[in-house]
Amino acid sequence: MGNGTSIGRVRGLGSAKSGSHHWLVQRFTAIGNLFLLLWLAVSLVLLQDYSYATVAEWLSKPVPAVAMILLVVSTFWHARLGMQVVVEDYVHEDGSKFACLVALNFAAFAGAAFGVFCVVRLALGAH
């Protein structure tokens, strides 16, 4: 005891072992989510109706399509970071924790890829 600085004694501890970058990205994506979800809420309120023709025409336009792609990326990234913390807090056994984090990463990347692909397909003329 008594060696090193106080930051040196606690560095690498805690359930996640590290985290300031994770913490910052959680905030960056939170700000992105805030703006993009407000955009989505306003857009949904302003839409004439929710028929396929109206919604598909709206989401095919450049600005809504790009905003939706950003929303998918930002929300999935934020969800991945948030659920990672929950796993680290409640799954204590190393093997299970690793398996949970692998599953979480697969789900987050697959979900985001599917969402982005769907918007691109729609915007580039599927309907």
By the criterion CB under 8 A, which residues form the site for another protein?
Answer: 1-4, 9-10, 13, 27, 30, 33-34, 37, 41, 44-45, 50, 52, 55-56, 59, 68, 72, 75-76, 79, 82-83, 86, 111, 114-115, 117-119, 121-122, 126-127
> Closer to another protein at the Cβ: 86 or 99?
86
- Between 98 and 121, CB nearer to another protein: 121
Q: Which residues of 42-72 are buried (b: 16+ CB within 10 A; e: fewer)?
A: eeeeeeeeeeeeebeebbbeeebbebbbbbb
Q: Which is nearer to another protein, 6 or 93 (CB)?
A: 6
Q: Cα separations (Å) of 87 from 13, 15, 37, 68, 103?
A: 16, 10, 26, 28, 11
Q: How far is the CB of 66 from another protein (least distance, A)?
A: 14
Instruction: Report, in Å, the least distance between residue 51 CB and another protein.
Output: 8
DSSP class of 125: I
CB of 95 to another protein, least distance (A): 22
Least spacing, CB of residue 48 vs another protein, in Å: 9
The Cβ of residue 79 has, within 10 Å, a number of other Cβ atoms equal to 17
Q: Give me the phi and psi of 13, to 5 degrees please.
A: -95, -170
